[in-house]
Copies of this chain bind each other. A is one copy, B any other.
């Protein structure tokens, strides 16, 4: 991502937050919203919020009233691709895998899980949220029947890299990794690691810092 026209990762991370807030205030009847109000809600820098919005919306906010809530919702949804969805497969149907399979919110985030896999024969053929669990031997054949480009990895740490390699061999181009390790992928594959250890480290450090300053 070197093109200067590209939108920064931190902007993209903030957009779903704005969207949830806008949908909320739309329900409450709000018609207009200023970038300052959005910034105050999140305790973000107003200049940052204005820049973020400018990158996804062609309409510029009016001096006093700001933006139309409904228009801004549509612009962010369009930018994030929430008006249609990408197909994904999930590998690893343990506790976390099952939780993600049962999560009803993905569709509204533009993601549809279309197939599930596990290496445990006891799970083969079982259904979670209408998704049948397939064996790892079926990975290639089942993925080929879908248009899935995203692979969600919820297997134990030990097998995660191998699963990742196999998904990529099957044509998967984006890996969403929940296993606690750093996966190595080719440069044409996008990867996102959910690193709970990293999250927890930051929380613990900030907690300690706040308690020291008491």
A30 sits at the interface (CB 8 A): no
User: Oligomeric state, in number of copies?
Assistant: 2
State whether B197 touches A109 (Cβ < 8 A). Answer: yes
Chain B residues positioned under 8 Å from A81 (CB to CB): 204, 208
B182, B189, B194, B203: the one within 8 Å of A199 (CB)? B194
| Bound CA–CA A180/B23 (angstroms) | 13
Chain B residues positioned under 8 Å from A9 (CB to CB): 202
Contact string, A1-27, partner B, CB cutoff 8 A, digits 1/0? 100001101001111110011000000
Contact string, A171-214, partner B, CB cutoff 8 A, digits 1/0? 00110100011100000111110111111111111111111001
A69 sits at the interface (CB 8 A): no
| Bound CA–CA A9/B200 (angstroms) | 11
State whether B149 touches A198 (Cβ < 8 A). Answer: no
B7, B198, B211: the one within 8 Å of A13 (CB)? B198
Q: Which 3 A-B pairs have the closest CB atoms?
A: A95-B99, A174-B207, A16-B197
Chain B minimum-CB-distance residue to A199:
B192
Query: Which A residues, 136 to 191, have Cβ-Cβ distances below 8 Å to chain B?
Result: 149-150, 173-174, 176, 180-182, 188-191
A123 sits at the interface (CB 8 A): no
State whether A111 touches B202 (Cβ < 8 A). Answer: no
Do A110 and B204 form a contact, CB below 8 Å, given A16-B197, A96-B99?
yes
| Bound CA–CA A7/B205 (angstroms) | 9
State whether A17 touches B207 (Cβ < 8 A). Answer: no
- Smallest beta-carbon distance A159→chain B, Å: 15
A102 sits at the interface (CB 8 A): yes
A80 sits at the interface (CB 8 A): yes
- Smallest beta-carbon distance A201→chain B, Å: 5
17 sampled A-B residue pairs with Cβ under 8 A? A1-B206, A7-B205, A17-B195, A20-B197, A86-B207, A96-B99, A106-B200, A109-B197, A150-B204, A173-B207, A188-B210, A188-B214, A190-B203, A191-B203, A192-B206, A194-B196, A194-B199
